[in-house]
């Protein structure tokens, strides 16, 4: 189709550029079809799982944009947060994801099993990474309560989700034999163990020996369907952090945004 050629209803039309001029008060162009879509846009290029950086593409939650990092030239994609898919807090029934005092409470640990003493206490300098799989998919953050118990001296613990330990504390205790809790609002990130990628994790650092308990009470997600904790339903198929070619929530070696990788 050349510039200025008419658009033919009911037929495939390939246009390069079209300029419509109007000086009237009515709509310049009205497209109406009572039997079906009035206008259907069809991609004119072969879809690729690794689009060029800067490419915008529709997905199940809105629009995604591809990008690269200075440290890794291979493209990845992330969702564009808009009014329809911006993050929202979704509450869940309290779910215990860590309790150093018993085996069941340690089941989600990806790192740190060796940092627990015979009395079920985290030793000083312990670094834990907790798998949140099965509770959520593609979370950007979480709400929780962290509890320190069986303390033997003053200390603190930090809950965080991306990058290296931030050098801050989430909960402090100042004597032996204390039981103390505090609320948590933290990012969540990803972690890799022996070539297996875990898409939703949170980390805990403990400065001095104490029993540590972490109960999740909600997540920051684009949609409630991303949350599965105690809901009995399956997680949404899309992951706001899924990179090109990766399956959301699956244990793959696909690259994730480097800044969301948890490090000790």
* pLDDT single digits (tens) 63-76: 788 888 888 777 78
**Residue 128 pLDDT class (50, 70, 90 cuts):** very high
Q: What percent of the chain has pLDDT over 70?
A: 73
Which pLDDT belongs to residue 46? 55
**Residue 148 pLDDT class (50, 70, 90 cuts):** very high
For 54-65, what is the mean pLDDT? Answer: 76
Q: Tell me: the pLDDT tens digits for 88-123?
A: 899 999 999 999 999 999 999 999 999 999 999 999
Which region among 39-53, 121-135, 171-185 has the lowest average model confidence (pLDDT)?
A: 39-53
Which pLDDT belongs to residue 10? 63
**Cβ(50)–Cβ(74) below 8 Å:** yes
Which pLDDT belongs to residue 244? 27
Read off the pTM: 0.63
Would you say the C-alpha torsion 183, 186, 188, 189 has a positive or negative sign? Answer: negative
Which pLDDT belongs to residue 58? 76
- Structure-derived torsion over alpha carbons of residues 134, 135, 137, 143, reported in degrees to the nearest 10: -160
What is the fold of 88-260? Jelly Rolls (2.60.120)
**Cβ(122)–Cβ(214) below 8 Å:** no
Q: What is the DSSP string of the chain?
A: --TTPPPPTTS----S-------SSS-S-----TTS-S------S---SSPPTT-EEEETTEEEEEEEETTEEEEEEEEEP-TTT--EEEEEEEEEEEETTSTGGGTTEEE-GGGB-TTS-BPTTEEEEEE-TTTBSS-SEEEEEEEEES--SSEEEEEE-SBS--S--SEEE-STT--EEEEEEEE-EEEEETTEEEEEEEEEEESSSBEEEEEEEEEEESSGGGB-TTT-SPPPS--TTPPTTPPTTS-------GGGBB--
**Domain limits of the chain?**
88-260
Which pLDDT belongs to residue 43? 57
Question: How far are the Cα atoms of 102, 118, 164, 204, 207 from residue 122, in angstroms, in the given order?
Answer: 12, 10, 19, 10, 9
**CA 194 to CA 210: how far, in whole Å?**
28
């Amino acid at each position: 189709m050349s510039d200025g050629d008419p658009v033919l209803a009911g037929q495939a039309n390939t246009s390069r550029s079209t300029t419509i001029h109007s000086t009237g008060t009515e709509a310049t162009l009205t497209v109406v079809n009572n039997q079906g879509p009035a206008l259907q846009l069809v991609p004119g290029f072969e879809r690729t799982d690794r689009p060029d950086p800067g490419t915008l593409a529709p997905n199940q939650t809105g629009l995604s944009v591809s990008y690269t990092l200075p440290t890794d030239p291979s493209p990845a994609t992330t969702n564009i947060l808009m009014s329809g898919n911006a993050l929202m807090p979704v509450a869940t029934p309290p779910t215990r994801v860590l309790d150093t005092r018993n085996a069941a409470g340690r089941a989600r640990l990806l790192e740190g099993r060796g940092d627990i003493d015979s009395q079920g206490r985290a030793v000083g300098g312990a670094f834990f990474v907790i798998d949140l799989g099965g509770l959520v998919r593609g979370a950007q953050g979480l709400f929780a309560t962290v509890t320190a118990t069986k303390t033997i001296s003053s200390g603190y613990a930090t809950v965080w989700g991306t990058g290296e330990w931030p050098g801050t504390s989430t909960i402090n205790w100042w004597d032996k034999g204390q039981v103390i809790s505090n609320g948590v609002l933290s990012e969540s990130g990803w972690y890799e163990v022996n070539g297996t990628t875990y898409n939703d994790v949170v980390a805990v650092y403990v400065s001095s020996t104490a029993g540590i308990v972490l109960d999740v009470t909600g997540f920051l997600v684009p949609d409630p369907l991303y949350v599965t904790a105690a809901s009995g339903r399956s997680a949404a198929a899309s992951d706001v952090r899924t990179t090109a070619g990766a399956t959301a929530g699956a244990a793959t070696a696909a690259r994730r945004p480097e800044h969301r990788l948890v490090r000790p």
